[in-house]
Amino acid sequence: MTGSTSGGSSVAAGEGDVTSPAPRRLTIGKVLAALSDDFPDVTASKIRFLEAEGLVLPHRTASGYRTYTDDDLRRLRYVLAAQRDRYWPLKVIREALDALDRGLSDPGDEHDGRPRPPAPTPDPEVPGPRALVGHRDVFLTGPELREATGIDRDTMNALETYGLLQPDANGRFGHESLAVAAAAHTLASHGLEARHLRPFRTAADREIGLVEQVLATRRASGPREDRAAEIASACIALHVALVRARLPR
């Protein structure tokens, strides 16, 4: 619900560039017409007053005329409804608009209409507990693993040396080794060798240590394997969230 700000027209893009379509611009008369059914008493003076209070920021043309986007129109509807239906003072409305601009959710008539923080949602890219305990049976030879993931023999040997790849007693590699080798192959294309990846193994060992510590010190219902998977899934989700928070924007 961010209000539009004034600014010049966009420069024509070169061939092959992708630009967003320009927002629709409405005159104050068209805004009044769009609002008239729900807010028949609204006037141009009222809208200019809300602008003076910083609740809506229309675009100004070169000749000084105000134009409004669809976002501005939605913002005006919110302000007018909050005044009429909830009797909110401008200070409360301003705080609510700021909250909505920061990504909070409009609950409608619930919770007194105050914006609410969004509920956390599971990251679809983070494996849940069931995915962690559900193992796919596959036993690959070294050449088969290299063929499937594109790593060379030296890289595979280095990954084994640093503990990132661990064959079983028969020298076979499981399903998780596919993911490890594929990730290592991608990272190698960015100049990261197996020796650079050792901290990932150390971090994984520490997370598993936390899982085992919780299982050993806290009693809870449910199978041990399911509890371990639930804790591990939360650890992975935390790790992914922390990495995403530090990525350049």
CATH number at residue 195: 1.10.1660
Per-residue pLDDT at 222: 76
In a domain, 118, yes or no: no
Most confident option among 32-46, 106-120, 217-231: 32-46
User: Does residue 242 register a pLDDT over 70?
Assistant: yes
For residues 226-243, average pLDDT? 90
Per-residue pLDDT at 7: 40
Tell me the Ramachandran region of residue 57: left when phi exceeds 0, alpha when psi lies from -120 to 50, beta otherwise: beta
Question: pLDDT above 90 covers what percent of the chain?
Answer: 61
In a domain, 137, yes or no: yes
**Band of pLDDT at residue 6, cut at 50, 70 and 90:** very low
Q: Yes or no: say if 26 and 34 are a contact pair by the CB < 8 Å rule.
A: yes
In a domain, 5, yes or no: no
How many structural domains does the chain have?
2
Among residues 80, 113, 146, the one where a domain terminates is: 113
In a domain, 224, yes or no: yes
**Band of pLDDT at residue 159, cut at 50, 70 and 90:** very high
**Band of pLDDT at residue 192, cut at 50, 70 and 90:** very high
User: Does residue 9 register a pLDDT over 70?
Assistant: no
Alpha-carbon separation of residue 240 from 182, 185, 234, 248, 249 (angstroms): 18, 20, 10, 14, 16
In this structure, the answer to whether residues 135 and 93 fall within a common structural domain is no
User: Does residue 165 register a pLDDT over 90?
Assistant: yes
Strand runs (DSSP E) across the chain, as ranges? 59-60, 66-67
In tens, the pLDDT along 95-125 reads 999 999 999 988 887 767 889 888 777 777 7
| Lowest mean pLDDT segment, chosen from 25-34, 91-100, 237-246 | 237-246
> What's the mean pLDDT when you consider all of the chain?
87
Please enumerate in sequence order all residues whose Cβ is within 8 A of that of 70, keeping only pairs 6 or more positions apart, or say none.
23, 24, 26
Among residues 64, 84, 113, the one where a domain terminates is: 113
In a domain, 2, yes or no: no
For residues 39-67, average pLDDT? 95
In this structure, the answer to whether residues 136 and 99 fall within a common structural domain is no
- pTM exceeding 0.95: no
Instruction: State how far the Cα of 23 lies from the Cα of 68, in Å rounded to an integer.
Output: 9
For residues 8-37, average pLDDT? 70
Residue 53 token pair? 């209070």
In this structure, the answer to whether residues 135 and 242 fall within a common structural domain is yes
